[in-house]
Structure 1
Amino acid sequence: MPARISNYFLLRPYWLAIIISLLLILWMLSSPEAEPLQAEQHSIKEQILPKVQTTRFTPEKMTKSLTLYGKSEANSRAVIRAEVAGKIVAITTKKGLRVKRGQALLNIEKNELPFRLEQAQALLDERSLNYKAVKSLNDKGLQGRARLAEMKSLLLAARTDVEQLQLKLARTKVTAPFSGILQEQFAEKGDYLQVGDSVFSLENIDPIVIRGDATEHYVSQLTLGQSISATLLSGEVISGKITYIASMADSKSSTFRIEAEFANPELKIFSGISAKLSIPLYPVEAIYISPSALAMDGEGNLGVKLVEQGTVVFKAIKLVEADNNGAWLSGFAGEVDIITLGQGFVKPGDPVQAVAAEK
């Protein structure tokens, strides 16, 4: 009997295919076996969610500052020149020393100037007496007005000669026009000077001026007298005021020159050193975050990746300012959970398993 059944199906194989198909359909429609499979697949899906580390940040108040890099320079600088011709007979100071306004620097030979001054003074006395005599006669009607005018002109000419000689004699002693430090010395004792020859250069570095260049975006936010701080290479921070804002941009850099004065009574800050200027602009609420947590979306917007209800969300932000250790970001309404580890492996819309970082 079994042999006959076997021969029957061998002669008619389509029946065997029909029976196998019916058995497969019945197995697939069986719900008690499908439910464990779906549960197992869901469990596997939960297990493969990527893990990311998040840190909670709360915006805090800070001041947006403009940072400029510049150099220090003298508040005033002058090249002291000879105003009379003659030989240098004495130099009373030397370069590198601090001098006060009016202090003698060198003496130029007086030559015949004292004798010429004495002669001019005597002529002035004579003409003064002549003028007084003619004026007395003119007051009595015994002398004409023309003669009086002539005597007055001669008197004024004599007085002018005396004053000119006095000025030349005074200029044989070269003095400092303001307090400062002598930088360069261009002449030595025994040199013969012509009018206009350089003898010393003088710089005043109290207060010291530090200059920088601001872009057109920020220059309109600056005002004269505004507080400013400068960080020197030594790490010292000094405070000062803005004293100059250029009204015309540099043709090459399209920036505006800014100058600020800083007290330098001990003359410890020299001209020509580098400094970082910081100018407070306005208050803002921001968070301070490591640059490694920053990201960019497909359109090139700067932002961070957050986790909201288990899903990655990209949040565009505004960079307030940055330093070597991090960046201040604004644009947050309240507390946020920012992905600080693993953000490079997830994209917006991905479900993730967030793990809070230890405080």
Structure 2
Amino acid sequence: MDLKDAQLSPKRRGLVSIIAAGLTSLLLIIWIMSGNTYQSVDPDQLQAKEVESTVSNLPKVQTHQVAAKTFTPTLILQGTLSPYYQAQVYARTSSQIQERPATLGQWIEQGDVLVRLDPETRRTLVQKAEADVHLHRSELEAGERLFKNRLLSEHEKLRLKATAAASEAALADAKLALAHTQINAPIAGFVNSLPFEIGELVQSGDVIATLTDTRNLKVKAYVAQQDVGRMGVGNPVKVTLLDGHTFVGEITFIANLADTATRSYAIEAKINNPEGLRIAGASATLEISLPEVLAHRIPPSLLSLDPSGQVGILGVNNEQVVVFHPLTLISFDTEYARVIGLPDTLEIITLGAGFTQPGDKVEPHLQESPL
């Protein structure tokens, strides 16, 4: 090929330039289109990636779902046993002891004779009072007849009437003093003391016997002010002595006024002691069954305090925000605490709570295994 053939004609050179420019434009269009394609990624996908990136930087906590269940709380108290009925029997008239049917340690029923005093002096006083009544009644009848005939003043008639009434009152007193020479038991119980012997003189007001009913016992204890509102008369009670003996009974009394020193309320429970065991005065443990409640069972280690000192637990709400839930503790042991005052169902933080505080947003990981 000669030089003339190697050189392109102007027409051919223009065609080559047009082709080169077209290729360049095509490449530019392809590059622009590829850029638009990248930018046209779904915005929701980008937002999800941003959220995912943000969540991954949040504090991670382990949580459990807990639900309230029916629970019968038991309140444990320390108390003291004493006779349910106890009475000191006093002489109500003065005389010598004539008989003493009762003996120390004997169980007697209500109305049984404890002591008889010498009645002779009292019988004489009754006879004299009866004679005085007969005399003054006769004088009053005569005075009323004279008054009708206008032979006696009204003042004198009233004096006779008052004298007759006084004599009748004296007779009633004499008969009562005679009746008091026989001293009966006011309650059923064991004879715990008989300080006077037959032949000794007793004065009105002297204690001639002490009776204690230890077949029925009362247990007295004190309950804290935060617990007294959960109790009621009739609540079942289990009483356990130091030697292991157990008795059952119920609450019979709850004080309406707290002790000024301890701010606690006195309570009493009645139990039966049919065997008459000598346990009055002993200490005992009371287990009081309280009404059923809906309560959560939570490990005590998860409980915490807010700045004001309120007991509560940290949980996570639906927005994954840490929430402090105040609660009331009603029962606990080394493994679990029973609490009330929480929502029926909630998600509590079991691991990682120490790195968060109420109001923080967290990444919770719910555990399926039970607490």
CA RMSD of aligned residues (A): 4.3
Q: Cα offset for 1:107?
A: 0.9
| CA distance in 1 between partners of 2:141 and 2:150 (Å) | 14
Aligned residues between the structures: 293
Alignment partner, residue 295 of structure 2: 285
Corresponding residue of 1:118: 127
Q: Distance in 2 between matches of 1:153 and 1:324?
A: 80
> Is contact 1:100-1:179 (8 Å) kept?
yes
Q: Please give the alpha-carbon distance, in whole angstroms, between the structure 1 residues aligned to 2:176 and 2:347.
A: 78
* Structure 1 residues 246 and 212, CA gap change in structure 2 (3 angstroms): farther
Instruction: Call closer, same or farther: CA 1:138–1:67 in 2, change over 3 Å.
Output: same
Q: 2:313 and 2:168 mapped to 1: Cα distance?
A: 84
Report SS of the residue matched to 1:68: strand
User: Which of 263, 266, 291 is the matching residue for 2:274?
Assistant: 266
- Per-residue deviation at 1:116? 2.3
Taking the aligned partners of 2:192 and 2:89, their CA distance within structure 1 comes to 11
1:185 alignment partner, one of 185, 194, 197: 194
SS across alignment from 1:160: helix
**Alignment counterpart, residue 235 of structure 2, candidates 228, 236, 240:** 228
1:238 aligns with 2:230: no
**CA contact 1:212–1:258 (8 Å) conserved in 2:** yes
Q: Say whether the 8 Å CA contact 2:68–2:294 is kept in structure 1.
A: no
Aligned to 1:48: none
Structure 1-normalised TM-score?
A: 0.64
Give yes or no for the alignment of 1:322 onto 2:332.
yes
Alignment of 1:21-32 (within 5 A): none
Give, as a single letter, the amino acid of the residue that structure 2 aligns with 1:320.
I
1:106-145 pair list within 5 angstroms: 106-145=115-154
Deviations 1:192-239 (A, max 9, x none): 21222211112345754322212222334555xx33222222464524
Partner of 1:153: 162
| Residues 57-91 of structure 1: CA deviation (Å, up to 9, x unaligned) | 76422134443322233334321121222221211
Is the counterpart of residue 217 in structure 1 residue 226 in structure 2? yes
Inter-partner Cα distance in structure 2 for 1:152 and 1:82: 34
Unaligned runs of 5+ in 2: 1-62, 316-321, 357-365
For 2:144 and 2:305, locate their aligned partners in 1 and report how far apart those are by CA, in whole Å.
Answer: 98
Secondary structure, aligned partner of 1:251 = coil
- The gaps in structure 1 that reach 5 residues or longer are 1-53, 307-312
1:163 counterpart = 2:182: no
Structure 2 Cα separation of the partners of residues 323 and 91 of structure 1: 57
Aligned residue for 1:40? none
Deviations 1:278-332 (A, max 9, x none): 152561222276x7x66779999988999xxxxxx99988533025775424557
Q: 2:68 & 2:207 partners in 1: Cα distance?
A: 61
Aligned residues of 2:235 and 2:250 also touching (Cα < 8 A): yes
Aligned CA distance change for structure 1 residues 59 and 220 (closer, same or farther; 3 Å): closer
User: 1:74 maps to what in 2?
Assistant: 83
- Structure-1 separation of matches of 2:338 and 2:297: 5
Aligned partner of residue 290 in structure 2, secondary structure = strand
Per the TM alignment, residue 105 of structure 1 is displaced from its structure 2 partner at its CA by 0.5
Q: Confirm whether residue 86 of structure 1 aligns to residue 95 of structure 2.
A: yes
What's 2:54 paired with? none
Change (3 A) 1:325 1:92: farther
Instruction: Provide the C-alpha distance between the structure 2 equivalents of 1:99 and 1:209, rounded to a whole number of angstroms.
Output: 20
Measure, in 1, the Cα distance between the counterparts of 2:370 and 2:125.
Answer: 93
Cα deviation 1:24-50 (Å, max 9, x = unaligned): xxxxxxxxxxxxxxxxxxxxxxxxxxx
